[in-house]
Amino acid sequence: MRWAVLVGGTGSNLAALLDRGIDIGLVVSHRAEVGALVIARAHRVPAAVLLPSRYASREAYGADLRQTLENAAIDAVAMAGFLRWLDTDTVRSYRGRIFNIHPSLLPAFPGLHAIGQALVYGVRWTGVTVHLVDEGRDSGPVVAQEPVPVEPEDDEESLAARIHAVEHRLYGDVLQAFEQQRFFVCGRKVVWRQ
């Protein structure tokens, strides 16, 4: 199965997926000059930069993104630090085949700065969610979650380090499980085969 990874940040999840041997045929970034693009280049993975500011609308952005994915014969998509909401047509075209990873136990702390939000709120546990992407904001069916404790002495950096360590393991686990058809979607729920 040939994956595209949509990025926009440091690319630590991209690096973990590459290390894991996931077949990544394309990286798409919504930002120029980010760490994720350096990682793509180092692994000789073709990369495209699609800057939102160059498009008249979210729909026009989505149309170009879909064309880019089609040109690279991509089967499934993993978002990892791509902090843009996808348009409806793109979500529909790849429904059930687009994953995202989020640094909280959704539906707690959706959107940006989830780790900071958890610290400010004072929760004792936060974690990582891998979910399928739907038309809403961080609202698609949950595929996997893993809790991470918030320690009293945690700051954003220390908590982020523990969350990222979980992300780097969990995302590859889920993408490989998808390739092996070890779960399926039933309405809002993801059912894992025994």
Catalytic residues: 102
Residues in the chain: 194
Least spacing, CB of residue 80 vs ligand GAR, in Å: 4
Other CB atoms within a 10 A radius of the CB of residue 8 amount to 19
Q: Give the β-pairing of 3-7 and 76-80.
A: parallel
Burial, 80: exposed, middle or buried (Cβ in 10 Å; 0-12, 13-18, 19+)? buried
Q: Fill in the amino acid letter for 111.
A: G
Residues in binding contact with ligand GAR, number by CB under 6 A: 17
Query: CB-wise, 18 or 36, nearer to ligand GAR?
Result: 36
x-or-dash string of contact with ligand GAR, 100-139, rule CB under 6 A:
-xxx----------x-----------------------x-
Determine which residue in the list 87, 134, 154, 167 makes contact with ligand GAR, applying CB under 6 A: 167
- Told to check if 81 binds ligand GAR by CB under 6 A, we report yes
- Which one of the spans 6-14, 43-51, 55-63, 179-187 is the region binding ligand GAR (CB under 6 A)? 6-14
Sequence-distant (6+) residues with CB within 8 A of 68 are 26, 28, 48, 50
